[in-house]
A and B are shown apart, each in its own frame.
Chain A
Amino acid sequence: MEQIRNFCIIAHIDHGKSTLADRLLQSTGTVNERDMQAQLLDDMDLERERGITIKSHAIQMDYVHEGQTYTLNLIDTPGHVDFSYEVSRSIAACEGALLIVDAAQGIEAQTISNLYLALEHDLEIIPVLNKIDLPSAMPEEVTDEIVSLIGCDPTDVIHASAKEGIGITDILEAIIHRIPAPKGDLQKPLKAMIFDSVFNPFRGIEVYFRVFDGEINKGDKVKFVNTGKTYEADEIGVLKLQQQPKDTIKAGNVGYIISGIKVAKEVKVGDTITHVNKPCEAVKGFENVKPMVFAGIYPVETSEFEELRASMEKLQLNDASLIWEPETSAALGFGFRCGFLGMLHMEIVQERLEREFDMTVITTVPSVQFHAVKSDGTIIKINAPSEMPEPNTISHIEEPFIRAQIITKDEFIGNIISLCMDKRGIIKNQVYLTTERVELTFELPLSEIVFDFFDKLKTLSKGYASLDYELIGFRQSTMVKLDIMLNGDRVDALSAIVHRDKAYEWGKRLCEKLRELIPRQMFEIAIQASIGTKIIARESVKAMRKNVLAKCYGGDISRKRKLLEKQKKGKKRMRQVGNVEIPQEAFMAVLKLD
C-alpha cells in the first residue's frame, strides 16, 4: 500500500487535462509511441470532438523512483457541470489531485467547484500551471490566483507544458512525494467504492472500483450494497492500457470487476462492493442520480418506434444516468419521455442515437421538473407540459432553483448581472478573487439556464466567464402552460411551461421562429400561441405559390424524377399534424429563440 498513489486531475475544458494524461502515460512507459493516439483517455468519438471527457476512466501506471516501483492510479474525471456527482465519486476514490490551470486563462468556475470537492475530501492538491510555453501565459497572476485559492506556497506550483513535455518529471515526483499513500485495513471486511462503469458488448458491464478496506479475490461472492444485488467476481484485475486480470486486489488499489452484469442500471456510481458473507458498511456520499432536464424523444418515422426502443435500451446499457418511459403525443405519436443530467447530456444522447444507432429522432422542448402543489400539500411532479394540471385544481406551482457561481473579469460584471436579472435571478454575492477576476453568486430558476444561458454568458463575456451550479430546492413561481396551435390544432409537442411574466414574449418569439422554420405548404398555415383559451400571439405561413420546374423533356425526366424523389424524402422527415407538415427542427425552435 505504501507504493500506491491514487490521484485525479481537476481541470477546466481545454486547459490540457487530456494532453497531460497522455504525457504521464508516455513517461511511465504505460504506452509506447506507436500506440499513442492523441488524447488517449477519451475514446468515444463524441468525446474527442467535443474535447470533453464525458465518462471517467481509470488507468494504472508503474513508475520507478529511487529504485522503488510505485503504482500510480490515475482516475479521470468528467469536466462538465452535468456530471458533477460522478466527479465527486472519482474524487472520493483518490488521495490527491493535480489541479491543472491554463497559464493564459486562469482558474474557471468549474475548476473551483471541483477543487472545493477535492478539498472537502482532504485530497492533497498539486497545482500545475500548464501551457507555460504560450506567449500569452501570465504565470505570476495565475500563480497568485492559485495561492490565494488553496493557500499553498508559490514554489509548490509546478510550471509545465503538457504539449511540449515540460515539467512532466516534476509532476511525477510530486505525485510520489506529496500525495499520501492510501490508508486501509486489510483485515477489515471488503469495502470498495464504484466510481465508474463501462459497457462491453461481449462481457457485460465492467465496473471500476477503489478498495478502501480488505481485499477482493477472483471468484468471491460480492454484494452491491445500495442495489442489494449479489454477483460472483468472474474476473477482477487492474486497468493498464488493456485490462490485466489478477487474483486479488487489495485495500488502497483500484481495479475492475466483471460479473456478468448486463444492464448499466444495476451499477450505480458511488455504490459499495462488499462480501456477501462478511459485509461492511456502505461508503458515505452515495446518491441516486437525478435527472435535471426532461424532453420527449420521438422517431421521425412513426414506424420506427420499436427500433427506437431497442436503441434506447442499448444506449442505457452504458449510460445509467439516462432514464426514460414511454410517452404518447398527439402530434408525434409514440415516443419516450427522457430525463437527462443536463443539456449537454441530452445532446449527447441525441447524437449517439443518430450516430451509433442510425436513428433519426425528434427531441421536444426540454423542460425541468416542476411541482404542482395541491391545496392539501401533496405534490404532483410535472416532467412534461402535458402533465400540467388545470390551474383551478391546484394551489400553486413550484420550480427548481439553483445557486450559480460565475467567475469572470470585472469588466463583464454589468453584462452578466443584467443577463441574470433577465433570467429572473437574484444576486447573492460578489467576491474579487484577484484585482480583475470576480466570483458572482446568483440564485436562478433552473428552467432559465437550461436552454441557452451558457452560450449567452460566453458571448456577453467574450468567453471570459465560467459557470457552475447546484440545485438548492423548489420555490413557488407563477408558471403557465403555453400552447402552440397550427391551423387550430394544438401541437402538444410544442407546448412549454413558462413564467407568466415571460409568456407573451415567449409566445410571440416562438410564433415568429416557427414561421421561419415551417416551409410554405399548399395551404396557408395559421400559427397561434395561447394560454388556456386565450390567444396571445399569431403569425402565418403563406401558402406555397409555385413549385414546378419549367422544363421536362426527354433529357430532363430522369433528373427530375430523382429531384422529386429527394423532395419526397425530405417530406418524410417532417411530421404531419392535421394537414401541416412540420420539420424536425421546428420542435427544437424553442432553443433557438432570440
Chain B
Amino acid sequence: MTVALCEEIKLRQNYLEREPINTVYFGGGTPSILSKDNLSSILETIHKYFSVNHDAEITLEANPDDLNSEKLRDLYGLGVNRLSIGIQSFKEEVLHFLNRAHNRKQALNSVSEARNIGFNNISIDLIYGIPINSHEDWENDLHEITKIKPEHISSYCLTIEPKTVFGHRAKMGTLSLKGEDFEARQYELLIEKLKSIGYEHYEVSNFCLPGMHSKHNSSYWKQAKYLGIGPGAHSYNGASRQFNVTNNHKYISSLYKDNIPTQQEVLSREDKVNEYLLTGLRTIWGVDLDYLKDNYDYDLKKLKGSYVNNLIDNRFATLDANDLKLTEEGLLLADEISASLFI
C-alpha cells in the first residue's frame, strides 16, 4: 500500500500546479497503524515532489490505543505536529457500546503522553447523541475536557450508516437513535460548555482554543485546492473533483501499472455555488454575498431576499457587511437552510 501511495504522489505531483503545501493530513480511518518506516517514506515522497512550507500543519489521526510513548516519539520525530485522537467518549460503557478498542484510561493517557513528548496541537473527537448516554452523562464527558484542555475538539452526532454493524442492528430493531430533540439538546450542551471554557465554535462540529483552528479542514470550507492520496480519497483543483476507487486491491493493482484509479466530476456553476453555500454556512466565516454575486452572478439577496430576511428576523442568521453567517440556532438547521438557498 505504501508503495502505491508513494506512486500516486509521484504521478500527481503537478495536480496542485506546484503551489506550496500548507497542510498534510493523514486521515480516513486509522493511519496510526502505519509503521514508522511507512510514514517516513510517504512524508519523504511528499517532500520530494512538493514544496512543503516549513511551518506546515502535519496532522495524523490516531486511536488512543495506538499511541504509546514510543509511537508518539516516532511521530514527533517524523515531523507530525498535530494529532487528532479518536477518543469519542470518556465513559467505559459508551466506549464498549461504540465497539472501540480503547478504554477511558488509554484515552486520558494518550493526551498526557503526547503532551509530555512535545505535541502542542492536539485535537480530540467526541460523539454525542448516543442512546445510552443521558444528558447528565454527556455533561460529565464534557467536564473531562476542562482537565485535559486539548487545543481542538471535533464533536459529531452519532449517525447510523447502512451496511455497518450499527446499520444492521438498526435494521433488526435492536438499536434506535433517540431522535432530533435529544440530539439537539446534547449539541446545545456541547456548545454551552465549550464556549464557557474558552473554546471558539468555528464550524458546526469543530471547536478550538483561540487561533488553533484546523488549518487543513478549514481549507475545505474555503474552496482551497486539495490533493487526496489513497483509496477513496477526493481531490479538488478548483474546477473538478476527483475521487479514487475505494477498493484497496484495485487501487494498488492499478497504481502498479502506473494508472491512477480515479474518476472525475466537473463542477458546474450551480455545483460550485451550492458547495460554497453548504460549506460556508457551516462556519463562523459564513458566505460572502458579494463573492457569490461577482464570481457566479448569483444574487442571493435579490433571489432569496424574503427567505434571508426571515432568517435574520428570527435570529437564525446575521448579515454583517454582506457576510451571511448562521447563529448557533441557525447552525442546528444548517442543512435545511443551505438547501433552501441552493440554486
Residues of A at under 8 Å CB distance from B?
520, 522-523, 544-555, 557-558, 560-561, 564-565, 567-568, 571, 579
Q: Are A544 and B180 in contact (CB under 8 A)?
A: yes
Tell me whether B207 is interfacial, beta carbon within 8 Å: no
Tell me whether B310 is interfacial, beta carbon within 8 Å: yes
Tell me whether B251 is interfacial, beta carbon within 8 Å: no
Distance from B201 Cβ to chain A, minimum over Cβ atoms (Å): 13
| Interface-central residue, A546, A549, A564, by most chain B CB under 10 Å | A546
Partner of B274 from A547, A552, A565 at Cβ < 8 Å: A565
Distance from A169 Cβ to chain B, minimum over Cβ atoms (Å): 56
Chain A residues within 8 Å of B217, by CB = 553
Tell me whether B212 is interfacial, beta carbon within 8 Å: no
**Identity of the chain A residue whose Cβ is nearest the Cβ of B244 in the assembled complex:** A555
Q: Are B181 and A545 in contact (CB under 8 A)?
A: yes
Q: Are B333 and A558 in contact (CB under 8 A)?
A: no
Partner of A554 from B236, B310, B314, B339 at Cβ < 8 Å: B236
Q: Are B342 and A568 in contact (CB under 8 A)?
A: yes
Tell me whether B325 is interfacial, beta carbon within 8 Å: no
Q: List 21 A-B contacts (CB under 8 A).
A: A522-B316, A544-B336, A545-B183, A548-B204, A548-B336, A549-B335, A551-B205, A552-B278, A554-B220, A554-B226, A554-B234, A555-B233, A555-B234, A557-B236, A557-B275, A558-B234, A561-B275, A561-B278, A564-B274, A564-B335, A567-B339
Chain A residues within 8 Å of B17, by CB = none
Q: Are A546 and B333 in contact (CB under 8 A)?
A: yes
Chain A residues within 8 Å of B232, by CB = 555
Chain B residues within 8 Å of A520, by CB = 180
Chain B 191-217 interface residues, beta-carbon cutoff 8 Å to A: 204-205, 217
Kindly supply a per-residue 1/0 record for chain B positions 47-87, scoring 1 wherever the CB is within 8 Å of any chain A CB and 0 otherwise: 00000000000000000000000000000000000000000
Partner of B28 from A523, A555, A557, A561 at Cβ < 8 Å: A555
Q: Are A550 and B156 in contact (CB under 8 A)?
A: yes
Q: Are A522 and B314 in contact (CB under 8 A)?
A: yes
Chain B residues within 8 Å of A522, by CB = 314, 316, 333, 336-337
| Complex Cα gap A243–B226 (Å) | 68
Tell me whether B40 is interfacial, beta carbon within 8 Å: no
| Complex Cα gap A520–B236 (Å) | 35
**Identity of the chain B residue whose Cβ is nearest the Cβ of A555 in the assembled complex:** B234
Chain B residues within 8 Å of A555, by CB = 28, 228, 232-234, 243
Tell me whether B106 is interfacial, beta carbon within 8 Å: no
Chain B residues within 8 Å of A561, by CB = 271, 274-275, 278
| Complex Cα gap A571–B335 (Å) | 13
Tell me whether B46 is interfacial, beta carbon within 8 Å: no
| Complex Cα gap A567–B336 (Å) | 8
Chain A facing B: main interface SS: loop
**Identity of the chain B residue whose Cβ is nearest the Cβ of A548 in the assembled complex:** B334
Q: Are B243 and A558 in contact (CB under 8 A)?
A: yes
Chain A residues within 8 Å of B337, by CB = 522
Tell me whether B133 is interfacial, beta carbon within 8 Å: no
**Other 20 A-B pairs with CB < 8 A, given A550-B156, A550-B205, A567-B339:** A546-B187, A546-B332, A546-B333, A547-B336, A548-B333, A550-B157, A550-B204, A552-B204, A552-B220, A552-B221, A552-B278, A555-B228, A555-B233, A557-B234, A557-B275, A557-B279, A561-B274, A564-B339, A564-B342, A571-B339
Chain A residues within 8 Å of B28, by CB = 555
> With A522-B314, A544-B180, A550-B204 as given contacts, are A558 and B265 in contact (CB-CB < 8 Å)?
yes
| Complex Cα gap A312–B104 (Å) | 67
Q: Are B241 and A558 in contact (CB under 8 A)?
A: yes
**Identity of the chain A residue whose Cβ is nearest the Cβ of B204 in the assembled complex:** A548
Kindly supply a per-residue 1/0 record for chain B positions 163-183, scoring 1 wherever the CB is within 8 Å of any chain A CB and 0 otherwise: 000000000000000001101
Q: Are A564 and B338 in contact (CB under 8 A)?
A: yes
| Complex Cα gap A571–B157 (Å) | 25
Chain A residues within 8 Å of B310, by CB = 579
Tell me whether B184 is interfacial, beta carbon within 8 Å: yes
Tell me whether B120 is interfacial, beta carbon within 8 Å: no
Partner of B282 from A545, A552, A554, A579 at Cβ < 8 Å: A552
Chain A residues within 8 Å of B271, by CB = 561
**Identity of the chain A residue whose Cβ is nearest the Cβ of B155 in the assembled complex:** A550
**Identity of the chain B residue whose Cβ is nearest the Cβ of A567 in the assembled complex:** B339
Tell me whether B35 is interfacial, beta carbon within 8 Å: no
8 smallest CB-CB distances across A and B, nearest first, come from A550-B156, A545-B184, A546-B184, A547-B336, A548-B334, A564-B339, A555-B234, A568-B339
Distance from A570 Cβ to chain B, minimum over Cβ atoms (Å): 9
Which size bracket describes the interface of B in this complex?
35 or more
Distance from B66 Cβ to chain A, minimum over Cβ atoms (Å): 21
| Interface-central residue, B156, B183, B337, B339, by most chain A CB under 10 Å | B339
Chain B residues within 8 Å of A523, by CB = 314
Kindly supply a per-residue 1/0 record for chain B positions 20-42, scoring 1 wherever the CB is within 8 Å of any chain A CB and 0 otherwise: 00000000100000000000000
Chain A residues within 8 Å of B334, by CB = 547-548
Kindly supply a per-residue 1/0 record for chain B positions 268-284, scoring 1 wherever the CB is within 8 Å of any chain A CB and 0 otherwise: 00010011001100100
Chain A residues within 8 Å of B308, by CB = none
Tell me whether B159 is interfacial, beta carbon within 8 Å: yes
Chain A residues within 8 Å of B333, by CB = 522, 544, 546-548
Chain A residues within 8 Å of B228, by CB = 554-555
**Identity of the chain B residue whose Cβ is nearest the Cβ of A547 in the assembled complex:** B336
Tell me whether B331 is interfacial, beta carbon within 8 Å: yes
Chain B residues within 8 Å of A551, by CB = 156, 205
Q: Are B340 and A571 in contact (CB under 8 A)?
A: yes
Chain B 300-335 interface residues, beta-carbon cutoff 8 Å to A: 310, 314, 316, 331-335
| Complex Cα gap A561–B184 (Å) | 22
Chain A residues within 8 Å of B278, by CB = 552, 557, 560-561, 564
| Complex Cα gap A565–B228 (Å) | 25
Chain A residues within 8 Å of B159, by CB = 549-550
Partner of A545 from B180, B279, B340 at Cβ < 8 Å: B180
Distance from A576 Cβ to chain B, minimum over Cβ atoms (Å): 11
Chain B residues within 8 Å of A554, by CB = 220, 226, 228, 233-236
Q: Are A557 and B336 in contact (CB under 8 A)?
A: no
| Complex Cα gap A549–B335 (Å) | 7
| Complex Cα gap A337–B310 (Å) | 34
| Complex Cα gap A546–B328 (Å) | 11
| Complex Cα gap A548–B235 (Å) | 24
| Complex Cα gap A555–B27 (Å) | 11
| Complex Cα gap A85–B155 (Å) | 68
Kindly supply a per-residue 1/0 record for chain B positions 211-252, scoring 1 wherever the CB is within 8 Å of any chain A CB and 0 otherwise: 000000100110000101000111110000101000000000
Distance from B281 Cβ to chain A, minimum over Cβ atoms (Å): 10
Chain A residues within 8 Å of B282, by CB = 548, 552
Q: Are B274 and A546 in contact (CB under 8 A)?
A: no
**Identity of the chain B residue whose Cβ is nearest the Cβ of A579 in the assembled complex:** B310
Q: Are A568 and B340 in contact (CB under 8 A)?
A: yes
Distance from A307 Cβ to chain B, minimum over Cβ atoms (Å): 23
| Complex Cα gap A553–B125 (Å) | 14
**Identity of the chain A residue whose Cβ is nearest the Cβ of B217 in the assembled complex:** A553
| Complex Cα gap A360–B78 (Å) | 61
Distance from B268 Cβ to chain A, minimum over Cβ atoms (Å): 11
**Identity of the chain B residue whose Cβ is nearest the Cβ of A563 in the assembled complex:** B335
Distance from A324 Cβ to chain B, minimum over Cβ atoms (Å): 33
Chain A residues within 8 Å of B243, by CB = 555, 558
Chain B residues within 8 Å of A547, by CB = 180, 332-336
Q: Are A553 and B220 in contact (CB under 8 A)?
A: yes
Partner of A546 from B156, B180, B220, B340 at Cβ < 8 Å: B180
